[in-house]
Amino acid sequence: MSFQAYLDTIYKKTGLTPADLRRLAEEQGWTEAGVLTPSTKAGAVVAWFKEHHDLGHGHAMAIFALLKGAKKEGDA
């Protein structure tokens, strides 16, 4: 599955775009000016998206990768 396919599935399930996910990250205090804070751990982000948006582990990890900058929209 491509990274973009993960984002597409997240959007279909939650209605959240990558921009929305970044906004939520700022609201949760995981990022500052779009950059992950040093104290933000993948486990916290994954647990939150699993609980609040009923996402699976892989899709929640994809969000963390997006926030970390390891992946971006359109990546294979």
Tell me if the pTM is above 0.85.
Answer: yes
Residue 73 falls within a domain, yes or no? no
Q: Which residues pair with 32 in a beta bridge?
A: 35
Q: Residue 60, exposed/middle/buried by CB under 10 A (0-12, 13-18, 19+)? A: buried
Task: With cut-offs at 50, 70 and 90, classify the pLDDT of residue 75.
Answer: confident
Under 8 Å between Cβ of 49 and 63: yes
Task: Output the pLDDT for position 11.
Answer: 97
Domain range for 40 is 3-68
In a domain, 29, yes or no: yes
Find the DSSP H helices in the chain.
Answer: 3-14, 18-28, 42-53, 57-68
Per the domain annotation, does 75 fall within a domain?
no
- 22 lies in some domain: yes
Instruction: Summarize pLDDT for 39-69 with one digit per residue, the tens.
Output: 999 999 999 999 999 999 999 999 999 999 8
CB distance 3 to 69 below 8 Å: no
Q: How far is CA 41 from CA 32, 50, 53, in A?
A: 14, 15, 18
Domain total for the chain? 1
